[in-house]
Every structure is written in C-alpha cells, then in structure tokens.
Structure 1
C-alpha cells in the first residue's frame, strides 16, 4: 500500500508541475534600449510563478565552476513538495571583463543569466523567441515583420536541443524534464 501511495504522490507532484508549466505567464517586461528588444528576466519569471506554487517550494542555488582558465556560474532551480523534487540547471560563462562592471557585478549578471535559463528549463519556457538567443538574432530583422515564413525545424535541430538539455541533467528526473520539454516543442 505504501508503494501505491508513493506512486500517487509522485504523480500528483508532476501534475502540479505540469499545471505550472501550462499556466505560467512570464511576459517580457524588460526593454533593452541599446538592442531595441524586449526580454524577460529571472525576476519576471519568479513574479509569474510565485502565485502558482501553492504548497510547492522553489529554490535556486548557484555554484562557481572552473573549466580550464574560465569561470562559469552553474544555477540550479529545484521545485519540491518536501518528498518529490524536480531540478533543472543552466550554466553561464563569466566574461573576462565587461566595460563598466566590476567583478561582483559581472558575477551577479552571469548568475542572473544562468538562473533565468535554469528556470526556463524547469518551467518549460521556450526561449527561442528571446532576444538574447542566437535563434532570435537570426530571425529578427530590426523589428520589421519577416516577409518569408520561417522554415520548419529539422529533426536534427530538435535532437541538438535535446542533447544540450540532456547533458545538463544530473539524474533520471531531470532527464525526464528535458524529454518533456522536447515533447512540448514537438507538438507546437
């Protein structure tokens, strides 16, 4: 009987996560005047998700990782009900230097970027239309509508995305989240 209860609690947890992923509205409330685009920040995502959490707890942690001679910030978002949990991680590299920023500001900006993308992974937020991605830069034409339709994504592109997400997974649950994210992209 304990096993059946455990399975049902696990299922209920993932149903809550799926509901949050479906209902989350995180608009792009920020504007970059230099690049002339709107974007969402980590704070925008948190503002949108907090009312949906109910009895779930969300935490975000950072870890500084050195690879070769470069430093990266690895952010991990964890959603839990106290017994079940789901995690997503993202990594961002610190610039060697950024004009007008001291070291603390640089690390903070890198942390915010990594946190935004781990929340994107946790809550299945599609970032293909975000202005700070390469895909957006290729699609955007100085704010004017495109005259020709965008080509459908190839299976190789989906596989590349999934492989990238899967490499960030630490366990089976995180891998399931990456798979779910891919599944959502395939049905759009």
Structure 2
C-alpha cells in the first residue's frame, strides 16, 4: 500500500502545483517560525524551513510522505521574504528594480515511517526591469502579491517587471519545484505516473 502524501503548507500556489502531479494528497498547516537565524545564508534558511515544515506536521501523519517547501529571495546578500502588506511590497520592488535576484526554493520530502528527509535547494535567477514607481503601484494594486517572496507573481502580471529568468525548474519560482519533487517521489516509491 502506498504511503499517504501530505503537503505541509497552506499556500494555494503550492497546492495548485502539487495537484498537477495527479496524486492524491492531504494538506496540513505547519506552525513554524520563518525568521532567518543570525548569519544564515538564504539557501540555508530555505532548506531549514522546508524540513522544519515537514517535521512539524509529521506527528499527525504517521506512515506518510510529507512535503515541505520554503522560498527565500536573495538580493546582494539580503534576504527578502513575503512583504505581507502594500508598503513593504513597494519597498521590495523599488530595491529590486534593475537588479538580479536569486530565489532559493527548498524542498523537503520526509518519510514519517523512517524519519528520514531528503532536502534540496532549487535556485532561480530573475533579472528585474528598470520600471517606474507608477508601474510598481499599478502592478501591486492589480495583483496584490503580498504573500509572495519578492513581491511579484511570475505566473501572473509580475512578468511585466521581469527582463529575464534563468533556472532549471520554472515551477520552483512559483513555490514548489516539481521536477525535483518528482525525483524524490520516485526514490520514495511513489512515482507520479505510477511507474519509473
């Protein structure tokens, strides 16, 4: 019997991405403090939080494969998280204007039967355009991406702010690296199409 698959996230973006694999899954809210630790690099923060989210829900789902994910944007050594509100999103987009940002999307697959987790970081580079404050305001009022690291949805109107993107897995930028997840699920014996 296949283990239950659980997404340790309340993100609608991650839920929609995982649904693409056409595997049944449950969703659970992980209660994890997402504050970066002092001196922690962006990829370390993302990796630590992805695994922490999976482990936070594990006691509720024995015998399951639990997916945790976290994303941290890095701009010249500064971590950018979810803005949460309009003023913070404006500040992020002004700071990012004309610059390159690396989005670190970490993925953890925890087997609650063994307690073993596989964790990977899938970076993605984004070069922002040199856009006006008026464009920032119009974009934010239209899409309100206050729950997105870096304040822009690349799968939506945020593309108007982007000059180019580069990386191995475009789904990582949206919040859940499906190519890496497919690999981890295959290793765990739960391939999305039922065969390897």
TM-score, length of structure 2 as denominator length? 0.29
- Structure possessing the higher relative contact order (Cα contacts under 8 Å, 6 or more residues apart): 2
Which of the pair has more CA radius of gyration?
A: 1
Whichever structure has more strand as a proportion of its residues is 2
| Structure with greater helix percent | 1
TM-score scaled to structure 1, two decimals?
0.30
